[in-house]
Structure 1
Amino acid sequence: MPSRTPGTADGPAWVPPAGRPPLSSRWARATWRGLPARRYEAGWEPGLVVPAADGSPLVTDHYFPRAEGAFPTLLVRSPYGRGVPWSPMYGLLFAEQGFHVVLQSCRGTGGSGGVFDLWRNEAADGQATVSWLRGRPWFDGTLGTVGPSYLGYVQWALALDPPPELKAMVVQVGLHDPYALFHADGVLRLENVLAVGAGMTYQHQGAAPFLKAMLRLQRRLRAATTARPLRGAYASALGGQVPWVDDVMAHPDPGDAYWSDASPAESAKGLRVPTTLITGWHDVLVDQAFEQYDRLRRAGCRTALLAGPWTHASALRRGWPQVFAESLAWLRAHLCADPSGLRPTAVRVHVGGTDTWRDLDAWPPASGTTAWHPSPGGHLTRRSPVDSAPVATFRYDPADPTPSLGGPLLSRTAGPRDNSALEARDDVLTFTGPPLTEPVDVMGPVSARLSISTDTGHADVFTRLCDVDPRGRSVNVCDGLARLRTTEGTPSQVTVPMSSTAHRFATGHRMRWQISGGAHPRYARNPGTGQSPLDATVFAPVRITLHADSALTLPHGSGPV
């Protein structure tokens, strides 16, 4: 569809309404520092009704620059409501920079009609909204999308059949694969399910109901995650049954029909819409950002990547000035033909262990890998093993599960944490390298090949890379978990993806490989009996033995920091 200028023969002149953005948004705007100066005063047209694909009313707010002329439009669709923080962060700020912003509540949320069914209606409802935009006198035919988390999911859903007006996408700490958010190798990401359940159920109702819900979840988290059986026990923590939560928990197999069409990841394979991806090294969705970056690059789509020192939440708090600047530059370049704010390289990553960033042409940078091996006495060595002899053993007891600490979580405890107390437990193995005589940069995907035997055949394994400073403080860098499928007493090998990182181990620091039988309640505990974790009422401890032919594989960094 060709672009048109509002107010010409293509349609009647549009007269901006007199409404100002809500006071709460203006207050929030006044507290932010480090943002670009506003170019325009912003206006607000709240409570518009857009017919969804099936006619359900989708409540929509329109923000706009108070100025004459044609401006591109940004579509922001959210299941979390249209108030703070979405109103100031997306409606107000982008309108001040010269964009019409359409901020819409997904069906069944924030006053919109219909029933919210997680991912099942977003593609059709997004297309219906674009159809509605075509009839607006202020729409000039140039469209972009922007938003984080589930607001990223709705962008990928629209990109399954991108409308011709769509010229740019900005996916911030974004979701495309619901299965991977809720399960890892068939193991339930229990804490994610509960956090998302609370957010989806209450955030769109307003700040007070959401705060109350999060406090209730915090108070009742232990009871909900240690109940026997686990199935249905979340209800007290979430204030009642949530049907989609039951469904998600009950379908651990990615091949189950329940997950059919849940992920719009394939949209990236043929996408031609310029797309920038923003993530954090401790974002719960960091792996999904790297997956989409790889798909887009292979498809020849223009793409960029920013990975900062953030969690899922802190990217939009502590990292917001940089996230906003990155997003604004991309949108101006591709919607306004102004590339002046773009950085010269496609990739920028923050290097952990430093206060610096590195610009790269692509991710991961071209590099080799180094294998580190466990040896008796808790040592981590470059020497290849001569056999598959046992190196160490520990007992994992699901009645007293190894706790989770830091890492890519949705809770306030996410991110880098001192693991020293965790590593003092009897059910945690650690293998530590010698003090480094020069800095070592790890840049790219990390993985572990574990040779494991058990006495029951039923276990999970959690593996983590840590940076140990000269004082003995052990800080998590990246990690992963896999389900063991072993024959009793016979070693089996499993490869565990441990996410990606850009991290510098400084001179005098040591690398540490941490191994345990789980991380609870981040992951549902393995009952040790072969029974489903949802239904198990009887637990059986398992003895897990690590063998010498295991390896931690680290990618080399390249270039100066």
Structure 2
Amino acid sequence: MRTATTRPQPPRPLPPSVRALRRTLRGLPGKLYDVAYEPGLVVPAADGSALLTDHYLPARDRKQAPGDFPTVLIRSPYGRGFPWAPMFAVPLAEQGFHVVLQSCRGTGGSGGTFDLWRNETADGTATVAWLREQPWFTGVLGTTGPSYLGFTQWALALDPPPELRAMVVQEGLHDLHAYFRPGGTFALQNGLTSAMGLTCQHQGTLPFVRATARLQRRFPAAARTLPLGDAYVPALGTRVPFVDEALAHADPADPAWRGADAGAAAESASVPTCLISGWSDVALDQTLQQYERLRRAGCERALLIGPWTHHSLLQRGWPQVFAETLAWLRAHLCGDPSGLRPERVRVHEGGGSATGTWRDLADWPPAAPGRRWYPAADGTLSRADTGEAGAPFATYRYDPADPVPSTGGPLLDNTAGPRDQSALEARDDVLTFTTAPLREPLHVRGPVSVSLRAAADTGHADVFARLCDVDGQGRSVNICDGIVRLPPDTTEPADVTVAMSSTAHCFASGHRIRLQVSGGAHPRFARHTGTGDPLATATRLVPAEVTLHHPAALALPVTEDGESGDDGKA
């Protein structure tokens, strides 16, 4: 382990494993420079802990390059090997960037204790202070990285150093409470999967593979065992403090969550920021929330959303994602805007054709009139609101002993994305409301929501809502969804709005719009036990009968090119 001031002469060639993995990547630009690296540099954290850091640098004629290249900082709790070295560090260094790849405190050999979110601002600032002392650092800095690496970027941007000129946040998080506790529930499947990655991936390939296998083997039992605060432990192999805190503290104002939301960095941002996500990405809502904040702040920004999940964005989507990343960094760190798109926003619009269509837009969301469709007792969904205010029109019984299963959507496994909903919609505890076949295509671009008046006979329940596209053969496929927990003791009808994320989707002519309503999506979300008992310690399961009352309305942002035929009439 070397000190921060020790530099090998000359830098080492890349390890054979990294070179081999880099050669497997397809669709990336040809290299401009050979790459060398300095592994295991020690950067002092804010508290003096040693942050292990690898430095990848461009080399001319296989020799060390002078310090005339900008720097890209990547701070990760997942280790510094795959995929960060071959997919991020080496390709960027090949294009003429110093890349500083660092393990967060308490991970990947770095000193101290990893404490989810609490040290990232201070340690990022300390790393920039170290960079200022390096002879190759030009004072021009960018950042990039996906998932929790997005949080480390936003944490640094809360008090951005003057050297920070650009950020590229790929499928990034900024609010850990919203991630673990969406809509007042607990993100059981994604939460435990993330916890496994955060606690094991930085330990190396074999420990990570073993932890993944253990979670897959033991998760089904954990998801159906009470109390949940104990049941999850065998699946992860250990008790994880931040999982315990997430289970125990539902309120984002609770002191336990202090510092977990770095979203304010975008509210007064001046650092040009490119945001990248997918329509089935677990971080989509957070990406769009930050884009809106950047828009209000007048910050230079760009947005790319593809037909990707959290994992496929880094797989089949990677050539396009890397090209977007490289263009943004070149524009703002190197003064070369030639690779930027003419329009600020590019989104993939699903439906309409087998492969969908890419759309370039001036901004997001585009100007679109809100249109409403109203569910009725006969299972129809129409533009005419014929319901009598206050009258009940639908009821479902949610039994936590036989919870409604999750089918597709934003998940962290290979079941994510659009999926056939036929088996799910055949259940008695899943309500569906469907339009007549559309006469013309209908284009929806922007946030989707449903407003409901709901009551539970026990006073305790969740409401899950999903927008689906039903084709001419009757196959129903999910587009976007959301969940909300009813206020405690809601035995009388209460107004709730289920934010169902956002989409860009074309309902083809002859297709039908479907609204799906149920009591949950398990094990994506922890089942509501039907009681007011704390989630971590609840041991009772009580079925709930949930009744929907008028008024209720599905709100869709319909674009101008979808004006005709949007009434859902046959």
* Aligned with residue 274 of structure 1, among 272, 275, 292: 272
Secondary structure of 1:234's match? helix
1:28 aligns with 2:21: yes
Over residues 236-277 of structure 1, what are the superposed CA-to-partner deviations in whole Å (9 max), with x where a residue is unaligned? 000111122111211111110111222111111111111100
Q: Which residue of 2 aligns with 1:113?
A: 111
Residues 159-168 or 388-397, more deviating: 388-397
Q: Does the 8 Å CA contact 1:403/1:521 hold for their aligned counterparts?
A: yes
User: Partners in 2 of 1:226 and 1:475 — Cα distance?
Assistant: 27
Where in structure 1 are there 5+ consecutive unaligned residues? 1-11
Q: Which residue of 1 aligns with 2:162?
A: 164
State the Cα distance separating 1:411 from its structure 2 match: 2.0
* Aligned with residue 31 of structure 2, among 15, 32, 38: 38
Q: Does the 8 Å CA contact 2:40/2:54 hold for their aligned counterparts?
A: yes
Q: Which residue of 2 aligns with 1:492?
A: 494
State the Cα distance separating 1:513 from its structure 2 match: 0.4
User: Partners in 2 of 1:496 and 1:91 — Cα distance?
Assistant: 40
Q: Does the 8 Å CA contact 2:488/2:532 hold for their aligned counterparts?
A: no
Q: Which residue of 1 aligns with 2:325?
A: 327
- Structure 1 runs, 4 residues or longer, greater than 4 Å off: 486-489
Q: Which residue of 2 aligns with 1:289?
A: 287
Q: Does the 8 Å CA contact 1:385/1:549 hold for their aligned counterparts?
A: no
- Name the amino acid aligned to 1:191: Q
State the Cα distance separating 1:487 from its structure 2 match: 5.8
User: Partners in 2 of 1:18 and 1:295 — Cα distance?
Assistant: 42
Q: Which residue of 1 aligns with 2:457?
A: 455
Q: Which residue of 1 aligns with 2:176?
A: 178
Q: Does the 8 Å CA contact 1:465/1:476 hold for their aligned counterparts?
A: yes
Q: Which residue of 2 aligns with 1:434?
A: 436
Aligned runs of 1:497-536 on 2, under 5 Å? 497-536=499-538
State the Cα distance separating 1:24 from its structure 2 match: 2.1
Q: Which residue of 2 aligns with 1:9?
A: none
1:215 aligns with 2:208: no
Q: Which residue of 2 aligns with 1:3?
A: none
Where in structure 2 are there 5+ consecutive unaligned residues? 564-570
User: Partners in 1 of 2:18 and 2:562 — Cα distance?
Assistant: 42
Aligned runs of 1:199-278 on 2, under 5 Å? 199-278=197-276
Q: Does the 8 Å CA contact 1:385/1:548 hold for their aligned counterparts?
A: no
User: Partners in 1 of 2:348 and 2:281 — Cα distance?
Assistant: 13
Q: Does the 8 Å CA contact 1:143/1:165 hold for their aligned counterparts?
A: yes
Q: Does the 8 Å CA contact 2:444/2:503 hold for their aligned counterparts?
A: yes
State the Cα distance separating 1:214 from its structure 2 match: 1.0
User: Partners in 2 of 1:249 and 1:488 — Cα distance?
Assistant: 22
Residues 23-32 or 469-478, more deviating: 23-32
- Name the amino acid aligned to 1:423: E
User: Partners in 2 of 1:79 and 1:443 — Cα distance?
Assistant: 35
- Name the amino acid aligned to 1:280: G
RMSD of equivalent CA atoms:
1.7
Q: Which residue of 2 aligns with 1:5?
A: none
Residues 266-275 or 321-330, more deviating: 266-275
TM-score (norm 1): 0.96
Q: Which residue of 2 aligns with 1:473?
A: 475
- Name the amino acid aligned to 1:137: P
- Name the amino acid aligned to 2:478: N
Secondary structure of 1:91's match? helix
- Name the amino acid aligned to 1:155: Q
- Name the amino acid aligned to 1:259: W
Q: Does the 8 Å CA contact 1:76/1:101 hold for their aligned counterparts?
A: yes
Secondary structure of 1:188's match? coil
State the Cα distance separating 1:559 from its structure 2 match: 4.5
User: Partners in 2 of 1:55 and 1:491 — Cα distance?
Assistant: 56
Q: Does the 8 Å CA contact 2:170/2:275 hold for their aligned counterparts?
A: yes
Q: Which residue of 2 aligns with 1:443?
A: 445
Secondary structure of 1:553's match? strand
Q: Does the 8 Å CA contact 2:469/2:479 hold for their aligned counterparts?
A: yes
State the Cα distance separating 1:458 from its structure 2 match: 1.0
Secondary structure of 1:66's match? strand
Secondary structure of 1:372's match? strand
* Aligned with residue 75 of structure 1, among 31, 54, 73: 73
1:52 aligns with 2:28: no
Distance 1:320 1:100, change over 3 A: same
Q: Which residue of 1 aligns with 2:384?
A: 383
% identical aligned pairs: 62
